[in-house]
Amino acid sequence: MRERKRELIGRVVSDKMEKTVVVAVQSLRRHRLYQRTVRRTKKFMAHNDQNQARQGDLVRIQESRPISRHKHWRVASILEVFALRGRAVPEAAVAAVPEVQEEVAAEIGESDAADGAAGVAGGGDAAEGGR
């Protein structure tokens, strides 16, 4: 029976090579002497066959046979595309789903109420002038 291949999740830090990406994997370890949690980062070269993974993407890499001198991992899947992370949702998508439209309207209403209350409370500081 074959042994299960190790899988790690990390962020692509370089995609400048052909069919190869450098993936930084972070792990938390306990320091032996000080018992503090230490964040360790290790970089792995991974085979990126179709050149789909780009810099900043979150990927899952899987251990494989040696592909070259430094490459012993391959990109199994792309979990999060960096270019799409944090982008605004198009208005057409919000208009198509009524539940999302209600949630967005509720959030906008809450933020407007919070902004109005903060403006009234913070108005006294501006009237005092510079010190």
Cα 55 to Cα 63: distance, rounded to the nearest angstrom: 20
78 residue type, one letter: I
The first and second tokens of residue 34, run together, are 């000080």
Indicate the burial class of 53 (C-beta count within 10 angstroms; 0-12, 13-18, 19 or more): buried
CA atoms lying within 13 Å on the CB side of residue 126: 6
The first and second tokens of residue 115, run together, are 């902004």
Cβ atoms of residues 40 and 30 within 8 Å: no
119 residue type, one letter: G
pLDDT of residue 89: 57
pLDDT of residue 129: 55
Q: What is the pLDDT of residues 76-107, one digit of tens each?
A: 999 999 887 777 656 665 555 566 666 666 76
Residue 123: in which H helix or E strand, if any?
A: helix 98-128
pLDDT of residue 97: 59
What residue ranges of the chain have pLDDT lower than 70?
A: 1, 88-105, 107-131
Cβ atoms of residues 47 and 20 within 8 Å: yes
pLDDT of residue 120: 53
pLDDT of residue 2: 75
Residue 35: Cβ within 10 Å count: 7
